[in-house]
Structure formats: structure tokens, C-alpha cells
Amino acid sequence: MGNPFKTNGFWGLLWSLDPLGFVLFVPSIVSILIALQIWLGESATIPPRVGSQRTVWSASLFSFFLSGAFFLLIYFLPIYFQAIKVGIILAGALTAKIGYYMPFIYVCVVFTSIASGLLTTLTPETTTAKWVGYQILYGFGCGCGFQLPQIAAQAALPFQDVQTGIAITLFFQNFGGALFVSAGNNVLNDQLVRRITALNITGLEPMAVLQAGATGIRDIIPDGFLDVVVNAYNDSLRLTFQVALILSALSVIGAIFMEWKNLKAPAPKGDGTETPQSSEKV
């Protein structure tokens, strides 16, 4: 039997994400952090009482998946999402007004999942109205939730732990982006090589297509084969966008475990009592 991972289906996509590298890398990072917690205790980079706080770890998980999808799409859709600014401003203003951030976390999950799914339907014939609209929808959804994990950490932690909680969520936000841009690029390259090879175009090497990039393929493709190569590129990108769809959907795991904290309520103190929140924390 052939290798089930050397296919263009689900298992092929999963294998392109380098799960072995992920399984080896992530536990090593976690092990280092745990070791630091045990060894340094309250002086650790991530004190146990902060890292194990429900909203902190769940907000970090949410940030990890959301930023992974966000930076992946930003990288492979070279356009600045103006709607992100709108989403951030709207979510920030309404959160301050109603006092709760969780509604916008779920708005983010729903909108980014729908928009990511729509982006996987792109073809060379897709109209401008559609691909621009899909990006606006994703940008708005992402903007609604992108900064809220830091606000959640502020709301859930006593004042002396706020900076550490924010640092943890920001770490996972940047870690998710760095990890899944690389994973998405791996999917694109792997799928493109397979599809170009399958076309069996005389004189066209798959690696040459990779090196030429999306803007240079027209200079190396033999006459009469441009359309089929463009379609191969498009189909490969759609699989890359499927990674963003998976990540957007997975962000709901972190959202489910985040606490519904009222930003207008007194903030917790380290001794178990409460103190009014300052406007700076909101």
C-alpha cells in the first residue's frame, strides 16, 4: 500500500503541516516553561498561579489559533485589511460600554471561520467584489477579537500579575503567527510541486515554478500552459487557506474556556479581595 500521507486529501494536508516537527517543538517549549516554574517558582517567567489561571491559558490558546490564521492569510493575501481597524475600534468601544468582552470573542470566531471558508472557494474567475468582500469579512471578524485576550488577562488577574498575563497571551499570539505562516508556506510548496509534476509539462521544472514565485511564473511557463499552471497555483493556495479555516474554527476551544468577566466590576487583588478597576486597565 502507498503512503496515505502522500495524497492531496485530508491526510496529505495534515502531513504538509509537519506534525512531527510540531509534536517535537511544542512539548519542548512547554517543558522548558514548566521546568522554569518548578525551579524558580514565583520568580519564573511564567509563575504557576498566572500560567494556570483559566482565562490566561484559554485566552492564550485563543490567541495562538487566531493569530496563526490571521498571519497566514496576511502573508498569502498581500493586502492590508482596512476592516481590521474598524473591528478593533468597534470592539474596543463596545466592550468598554457594555463591560463584557466575550460577545466579541464569539463574533470573532464566527466571522473568521465563515470568511476563511469563503476564501477557500477562490478561483481565477472569482469576481473582485467577492474576494474583496471575503477579506473585509475576515478582517472585521479578526479585528473584533485580536486584542481582547490582553483585556481578558487584565480582567482576570490581580494587579501585580497583569503584566505577566498580558505577556503570556502576546507570546502565544506571536508564536501562532510565526508557526503557521511557516506551516502554510510548507503546504503551498508541497501542493504546488505535486500539481506541477502531475501536469507533466515538458521543460517546466516544479522547483523553477517555486523559485519564480507568483509574479514570475508567466516568464517561465511554456506557451499554452499558463492557464493550467495558474489553476494549479490557485488550488494549492486554497489548501493553504484551509489551514486558516481549521485554525479559525479551533480558536473556539480557547473562547469556550475564557471567563465572562465584567470590566466594570472590581478587579481581584492578590489577597482574594477586590479593588475597583482603573480606567487604564479597560
pLDDT digits 0-9 by tens, 167-192:
889 888 888 888 888 888 888 888 88
Is residue 168 one of the residues assigned to a domain? yes
pLDDT value for 18: 62
In contact, 112 and 251? CB cutoff 8 Å: yes
Whole-model pTM: value is 0.72
Q: Which residue shows C-alpha cell 471578524?
A: 141
pLDDT digits 0-9 by tens, 212-222:
877 777 788 88
Domain that holds residue 145: 50-275
Taken in order 108, 114, 116, 118, the sign of the CA dihedral is negative
Is residue 12 one of the residues assigned to a domain? no
What is the C-alpha to C-alpha distance for residues 200 and 205, in angstroms, rounded to an integer?
9
pLDDT value for 79: 40
Is residue 129 one of the residues assigned to a domain? yes
Is residue 85 one of the residues assigned to a domain? yes
- Residue type at 143 in one-letter notation: G
- Residue type at 27 in one-letter notation: P
Is residue 33 one of the residues assigned to a domain? no
| HSE toward the beta carbon, residue 139, CA cutoff 13 A | 17
C-alpha cell recorded at residue 179: 508557526
Percent pLDDT > 70 in the chain is 73
Is residue 234 one of the residues assigned to a domain? yes
In contact, 131 and 234? CB cutoff 8 Å: no
In contact, 152 and 59? CB cutoff 8 Å: yes
Q: What does the pLDDT average to over 8-20?
A: 64
- pLDDT confidence band for 81 (50 / 70 / 90): very low
For the ranges 89-93, 199-203, 242-246, 276-280, the lowest mean pLDDT is seen at 276-280
Structural domains of the chain, count: 1
CATH number of the domain encompassing residue 79: 1.20.1250.20
pLDDT value for 164: 86
What is the C-alpha to C-alpha distance for residues 188 and 125, in angstroms, rounded to an integer?
20
pLDDT digits 0-9 by tens, 17-67:
666 666 666 666 666 555 545 655 555 556 777 777 888 889 888 988 888
Highest mean pLDDT among 105-119, 132-146, 198-212, 226-240: 105-119
- Rounded to whole angstroms, what are the CA distances from 130 to 95, 102, 137, 269? 30, 29, 10, 49
